[in-house]
Amino acid sequence: AQKITQTQPGMFVQEKEAVTLDCTYDTSDQSYGLFWYKQPSSGEMIFLIYQGSYDEQNATEGRYSLNFQKARKSANLVISASQLGDSAMYFCAMREKGDMGRRALTFGSGTRLQVQP
């Protein structure tokens, strides 16, 4: 089974509008972390936002916020006031503690966001 599922291969949004990128995850751990990264065409993975499984409030970082619904196992990224520079691939990732104390991130397949002027 997929650990991280991103069902939107591509998304379009008009400049200055908000957009939601979907992410669902699968884990049996009680303690885990969810991350979103941005990958522009240059290739570097840029950290955007983090949500811990025990965090009671949704994470926010500037124009980025995370809509965390633990019971539904979803962690959607919301980008407000989209800018042309937001055009990139966006990856959702999870770190599970697991029995071995795993530190590795498991990534989804990504969503390509294109912001239109």
Partner 1 sequence: DTGVSQNPRHKITKRGQNVTFRCDPISEHNRLYWYRQTLGQGPEFLTYFQNEAQLEKSRLLSDRFSAERPKGSFSTLEIQRTEQGDSAMYLCASSLGLGGRSTDTQYFGPGTRLTVL
Strand partners for 10: 112
CB of 48 to partner 1, least distance (A): 10
Return d(Cα 31, Cα 37) in angstroms, integer: 20
Return d(Cα 23, Cα 63) in angstroms, integer: 18
Three-state DSSP state, 112: strand
Q: Is 44 in the site for partner 1 (CB under 8 A)?
A: yes
Q: 91, 94, 96, 115: which one contacts partner 1 (CB under 8 A)?
A: 91
Q: 18, 52, 69, 81: which one contacts partner 1 (CB under 8 A)?
A: 52
Q: 11, 20, 74, 107: which one contacts partner 1 (CB under 8 A)?
A: 107
Nearest CA among 51, 77, 73, 53 for reference residue 64: 77
Tokens for 111, please give them: 């969503």
CB of 93 to partner 1, least distance (A): 7
**Closer residue to partner 1 in complex, CB, 42/57:** 42
| Cβ atoms 93, 68 nearer than 8 A | no
Positions in the binding site for partner 1 (CB under 8 A): 4, 31, 33, 35, 37, 42-47, 50, 52, 54, 91, 93, 95, 100, 102-110
